[in-house]
Chain A
Amino acid sequence: MPNSSIDIINVIESKLKDKVQIQKGQLSTAAITVSNGLHRDVIQAMVDADPYTAISAITGLDLGASLGVYYHVRTSNAFLTIKAEVPKENPKIQTITDITPSGVFHELEVSDLFGVAFEGNPLPGHFVLPETWPQGIYPLRKDVNANEVKLDPPLEEEKKPSEGKLVKIIIGPQHPALLEPEKFAVTVDGETVTKVEPRIGYVHRGIEKASESRTYLQDIYLVERICGICTTIHAADFCETVEKLLKAEVPQRAKYLRVIALELNRLHSHFLTLGHAGLEIGYETLFQYFWRDREPIMDLIELTSGSRVYPSIMTIGGVRRDLKDTDLPKIKTTLIELRKKLPFYRQVYENEPSLRARMKNVGILKREDALKLGVVGPVARGSGVDIDVRKDEPYEAYSEIPFKEIVYQDGDTWARMNVRMDEVEESINIIEYALDHLPAGPFRVKVPRVVPPGEAVNRVEAPRGELFCYIKSNGTAMPERVKVRTPTYANIPSFLKTAIGENIADVPPNFVSLDPCFSCTDR
């Protein structure tokens, strides 16, 4: 948690007192309503005052006659929302990418899905939607039905695209290194990478639009399926946001049970990444060993919830099922066995020469770049940026459970993987503490089906970083707008930067070290 005493609201008030309306206590720390153009001044003031300032997400909204563009900005000790509006007939707004480069991908998504034109954004073209999506159809606007859109076939790519010495290699969408489809056009000069152009959107299923036509309870199961690896945290984030709208108080026992489920999810996700990294550097044996040790964790997840991959244990108001007392000893013995295996893996990472040769000093992300690009999660903590939502803005029972925040200063692939390894140990500690101090009581509380109108934001710490959710309700049983910003979406710009100047053979391990999850990114 950054040690900071900057009162960011004071700073904004002193600089722009009469031009903006500040509502303290709304939408986390404060909501600031600005009229056209002033959003730049507010963000500029924040960036000047606090180096930890970064855009967490940009939400687009259909407000009827106008489109809302909400900037959610994170600083070292506050989380603000800046609300701007543009008219539908002329949806133009100035970009903020020159002030803080962390906003570039977020702006592209709003322009794709709502049609807001950000003047000055450096990247053109469709980002989240397919390349051949017809112009003028913005799926997330209320008056648009995009179900019947038929796409033209994609453009025939040139056979041997190369300009002089530079050769363009296309990685993906079907590639053995990547579990998911996405395309990276990597331009190489010999063996050195000069430019990386991403093309995402292959897994864009339109979850945000679909959630508007299902009830809140049905939406849990939809939002959960944004990603099959970090599924529990997506459900938890959504449920917490709805509970904020309902002003419902979750019982203590449910909070602890949620923490146990979330930390089990973090364990299995970190083991998955650690093993996958082994596969990328050609170390199949390490991959097999990590996944062999991941199986007891999957057995625990199945024991506590009934299913391996989709535990579906979160519900609005608590958890769906209780933990039996007879299960506790089994969980404890499995965790003890797991803890005994960690020194072996630590030794491999410290001493194995071929692994160190492939991971040390590869993909270095400097601390200033990490702060400017607004990266989150183990990528940030591996570069010396000490942000962790469990410590900065504790949720569930994390304020009562002691654990360490893991920060490494090196900024290379090796440091990022080590952050995850140490977090595995911390997760085991958290689960053991939670099991020992599990309070008695109900494990869920009944909540009404209809949610009163309002809006709420919530942030949690997914295995990959900060996960953000914004929900606007309109007084019915279905939400008006659900916006989810996943951690990989915020981390990809860092990959575009760290890959430049590296050997092409370093691109896969570098890529896996930021633990990309494209189904999270595309939703």
Chain B
Amino acid sequence: MIDFMLIFRILVFPGFTFVLFLTLFCDWVERKIEARIQNRVGPMVAGPGGILQPLADFIKLLTKEDITPRDAKKTIFKFAPLVAFSIMVFAMAFLPIDGGSVISASGFNGDLIIILAFVTIANFLLFLAGWASCNPYGSIGSARVLTQFLGYDIPLTLLALTPAFIAGSLNIFSIAYIQVTQLLPFILLAPWAFVLFIITMQAELEKDPFDIPHADSEVVGGLETEYTGGKLAFLHLTRDVQIVFGAALVVELFLGGPYGPVFFGLPEFWYSLWFILKLLAVVIITEYITTVFARLRIDQVLRANWKILLPAAILSLVLTVAMVTWIYPMVV
């Protein structure tokens, strides 16, 4: 029997099409916020208020000529962007968006670890994409991507385990559900972890002040330098989906996921609405941090990671363990 509901969920909502349009929408939100902070207006002409601008960018890139450099490693060059994009969209499928995820209504134990692994694989594929273009700027850009995300993966995992510890489970659905039903949202229970997680997420997503791999004054186009046309479109989309995914992870782990008060009608509608609103709040915070700071140098970024963030992440985990085991049972 063909399960039409499952196919609908995978392809349309909350699957592929919804993720695609959510990504384009968040891209527009980011550009508008960046423009307003810089005293400008941002995209205005494509659609009402410029909301169709990211879609126009995407379609235009798809219609451009496709050029593969003579010396590039053809297979990796052609397929790395598409595979990276697919992995990121697949990782989005594990997150409960309308009350349940696409994969299964209540997830399974350990899917938090799996999606963190997916992010790492997608970043690694981006590195391969830059390396395969055989361009000096591409090589430097992708080397920087590798250095940065390998370094920041460790504190990211530690900080992601903090909510898992408080909730007592590695299942994202449980973590998000417990925040609304039994405990308070973890942003209130472990605010230090929330702040550190946002900072680490900025570095994983390569946004200011950590956006060295995209520093166009130093490495021209970075790992994207040689890409044109449809492949460039998917590289851009991969990065945008990563940003949405990072924000969604913050929402699930610290803000109670899609769960919130249901007023009337379908609970799925309200859950999606709360999810989108919380996602937008996180996107606005990260974009604000992006515009307000300058870009750090690579050695300063590495020093920030190994000397500051990693010890802070360990301390945060220890502190959370202490609070949960001894302090909170006394208060609650």
Contacts and interface: CB of A to CB of B under 8 A. Distances in A.
A286 B38 CA distance: 8
A286 B217 contact: no
A354 B218 contact: no
B65 interface: no
A176 B294 contact: no
Interface size class of B (residues with CB under 8 A): 20 to 34
Contacts of A176: 216-217, 220
Nearest to A288: B38
Nearest to A356: B294
B202 to A, nearest CB: 12
Contact of B300 (A284, A289, A292, A357): A357
Interface in B23-48: 34, 37-40
Contacts of A284: 34, 38, 291
Contact of B218 (A170, A286, A355, A508): A508
B295 A354 contact: yes
Interface in B102-151: 136, 140
Interface in B225-247: none
Interface string A259-293: 00000000000000000001111111110110010
B293 A505 contact: no
Contact of B39 (A170, A288, A357, A505): A288
A1 B39 CA distance: 41
A169 B140 CA distance: 10
A506 B215 CA distance: 12
B217 A191 contact: no
A34 interface: no
B211 interface: yes
A65 B211 CA distance: 61
Nearest to B208: A282
Given A191-B299, A358-B294, A282 B217 contact: yes
Interface in A350-379: 352, 354-355, 357-358
A282 B295 contact: yes
Majority SS of interface residues in chain A?
A: helix
A286 B209 CA distance: 14
A175 interface: yes
Interface string A164-186: 00010110000111000000000
B212 interface: yes
Interface residues of A, number: 32
A355 B40 contact: no
A280 B215 CA distance: 9
A504 B37 CA distance: 30
A281 B294 contact: yes
Nearest to B136: A169
A505 B297 contact: yes
Interface in A488-515: 503-508
B294 A286 contact: yes
A503 B140 CA distance: 14
B72 interface: no
A283 B71 contact: no
B108 to A, nearest CB: 41
A446 interface: no
B40 A282 contact: no
B298 interface: yes
Interface of A: 159-160, 167, 169-170, 175-177, 191, 278-286, 288-289, 292, 352, 354-355, 357-358, 503-508
Closest 10 CB pairs of A and B: A282-B295, A283-B294, A177-B217, A288-B38, A354-B294, A505-B297, A354-B293, A281-B294, A176-B216, A508-B217
Given A176-B216, A177-B217, A504-B218, 10 more contacts: A159-B71, A177-B218, A282-B208, A282-B217, A282-B294, A282-B295, A284-B34, A286-B294, A358-B295, A505-B215
